[in-house]
Amino acid sequence: MAVSHRLLRPATTTIKNTFSSLFIRSLSSSSSGSSLDPKIDLEEAAAQLGKSSSTSTSPYKGRNFHWVFLGCPGVGKGTYASRLSSLLGVPHIATGDLVREELSSSGLLSSQLKELVNHGKLVPDEFIISLLSKRLQAGKDKGESGYILDGFPRTVTQAEILEGVTNIDLVINLKLREEALLAKCLGRRICSECGGNYNVACIDIKGDDDTPRMYMPPLLPPPNCESKLISRADDTEEVVKERLRIYNKMTQPVEEFYKKRGKLLEFELPGGIPESWARLLRALHLEDDKQSAIA
């Protein structure tokens, strides 16, 4: 697979400085003219981001959440991160979505990025960091405070850089039995019109003496989306297996990184969304009076 050497800059480059300078630049070059001085200390820049200027009506308003979702491809990071985002009134930032937005542009690098993504490879750290810095800056301009990161960090380098500019309060590591992960990725569908996420897989894994049955019904679309469903190009069996291999090699060490810091909450998904959502809320000591509506 020929991918431009420019994209695969050796990880030995001081990516920390790249992120720091990008981070400051993205904070000081906003179209609305950030009040931040470009020479501002990074910690202060990160603190500015974290200031609770949330205008949400969330019952958790004012509590700053800097959370991360970890988990294998197809485990449901986006499903639960978006629900928590609605409940807590903080933005859900999915780096996979940022990458796909970049792929849909006709940017110089989009064809090379597509090669990487469609083969299940990770995008180079500095590129993903540039995308995330821009998104954080846009959020700051809109008065967002706090965030739930989904899909970042995905390497120890990314985790170290993130730790250098802000404090992550909690890392939720979603886990699901391997045999269910592949079926969920292959069953994933997106409505090409409204962007809604669905899953046509019906997962029913028999239990045995020490593991309960795993039943996850399909998450079917409404009638007006049924004829518009598409799959992601990287959700083929071959690419999903490569993504799982890369996750185990590159992202499992990130779990260790946060476990050592006492910030990792391991959460084994027990089944479908209603059951898992209720149990996740209990694990997070959160209440959700709209529980049935959101789930």
Ligand X SMILES: Nc1ncnc2c1ncn2[C@@H]1O[C@H](COP(=O)(O)OP(=O)(O)O)[C@@H](O)[C@H]1O
Question: Binding site: which residues?
Answer: 74-79, 95, 100, 121-123, 151-154, 158, 188, 243, 271
Q: Sheet of 229-230: strands edge to edge?
A: 197-199, 188-191, 229-230
Among 18, 79, 85, 95, binds ligand X (CB under 6 A): 95
Q: Any idea which residue has 């029913």 for tokens?
A: 204
* CB neighbour class for 220 (10 Å; exposed up to 12, middle 13-18, buried from 19): middle
Active site residue 6: no
Among 19, 20, 70, 73, binds ligand X (CB under 6 A): 73
> How many residues sit in the footprint of ligand X (CB under 6 A)?
17
C-alpha–C-alpha distance, residues 252 and 154, integer Å: 9
Q: Which amino acid is at 15?
A: I
* Residue among 83, 135, 140, 154 flagged as catalytic: 154
Tell me the closest approach of the beta carbon of residue 116 to ligand X, in angstroms.
Answer: 6
Q: Tell me the per-residue interface mask from 211 to 250 with ligand X, x by CB under 6 A, - otherwise.
A: -----------------------x--------x-------
Angle between helices 95-104 and 110-118 (to 10 degrees): 130
Is 122 among the residues that bind ligand X (CB under 6 A)?
Answer: yes
Is 117 among the residues that bind ligand X (CB under 6 A)?
Answer: yes
Active site residue 188: yes
- Tell me the residue length of the chain: 295
CA dihedral in degrees (289, 290, 294, 295; nearest 10)? 60
Alpha helices (runs of H) in the chain, residue ranges in sequence order: 15-28, 42-50, 77-88, 95-104, 110-118, 125-141, 156-165, 178-187, 223-226, 237-246, 252-260, 273-283, 291-294
Among 50, 96, 146, 187, binds ligand X (CB under 6 A): 96
Peptide bond into 153 cis (omega under 30): yes
Nearer to ligand X, 80 or 152 (CB): 152
Q: Which amino acid is at 128?
A: I
Tell me the closest approach of the beta carbon of residue 80 to ligand X, in angstroms.
Answer: 13
Is 70 among the residues that bind ligand X (CB under 6 A)?
Answer: no
Region from 23-31, 34-42, 116-124, 215-223 binding ligand X, contact rule CB under 6 A: 116-124
Nearer to ligand X, 92 or 121 (CB): 121
C-alpha–C-alpha distance, residues 20 and 16, integer Å: 6
Q: Are 70 and 157 in contact (CB under 8 A)?
A: no
Nearer to ligand X, 40 or 250 (CB): 250
Among 123, 161, 168, 269, binds ligand X (CB under 6 A): 123
Active site residue 77: yes
Point out the annotated binding site for ATP: 74-79, 188, 271
* Residue among 232, 241, 259, 263 flagged as catalytic: 232
User: What residue ranges bind ligand X (CB under 6 A)?
Assistant: 73-74, 95-96, 99, 116-117, 121-123, 128, 151-152, 154, 158, 234, 243
- Which residues are identified as catalytic? 77, 154, 188, 232, 243
